[in-house]
Amino acid sequence: NAGVTQTPKFQVLKTGQSMTLQCAQDMNHNSMYWYRQDPGMGLRLIYYSASEGTTDKGEVPNGYNVSRLNKREFSLRLESAAPSQTSVYFCASYYQGQPQHFGDGTRLSIL
């Protein structure tokens, strides 16, 4: 039982490049989330998907897009990467009323 799996684990991009971060969960949870974690700050919600077929903006959605591909998979896309998007990105899945389960993160550097 892998829980929440994120790929890649590390990535370096140049400003203006695009990429997609992948996330998959095997817990049959309805809800999935993308957060970013910056030094000295709590996790900030980028986008979430309450259920398959729906997505909603979180606290810091600018510069990102998401796709809920199916119940298992939720991807995060950076269309034109900027240095301000250098961060650690975490995906989480959730069943209402229970704690969220997190992946081990993608460490993204944008030069």
Partner 1 sequence: GESVGLHLPTLSVQEGDNSIINCAYSNSASDYFIWYKQESGKGPQFIIDIRSNMDKRQGQRVTVLLNKTVKHLSLQIAATQPGDSAVYFCAENTGGFKTIFGAGTRLFVKA
- Give Cβ neighbours of residue 97 (< 8 Å, ≥ 6 apart): none
CB of 15 to partner 1, least distance (A): 26
Nearer of residues 17 and 30 to partner 1, judged by Cβ: 30
Nearer of residues 57 and 77 to partner 1, judged by Cβ: 57
Beta bridge partners of 46: none
How far is residue 96's CA from residue 69's CA, in Å, rounded to a whole number?
Answer: 20
Tokens of 20: 């997609």
**Considering the rule CB under 8 A, would residue 90 count as an interface residue with partner 1?**
yes
Using the contact rule CB under 8 A, the part of the chain among 16-24, 39-47, 62-70, 77-85 near partner 1 is 39-47
Using the contact rule CB under 8 A, the part of the chain among 13-21, 33-41, 66-74, 77-85 near partner 1 is 33-41
To which residue do tokens 């897009």 refer? 65
Nearer of residues 17 and 52 to partner 1, judged by Cβ: 52
How far is residue 90's CA from residue 94's CA, in Å, rounded to a whole number?
Answer: 13
Closest CA to 35 of 23, 25, 27, 52: 23
Binding site for partner 1 (CB under 8 A): 4, 31, 35, 40-43, 45, 48, 50, 58, 90, 94, 96-97, 99-105
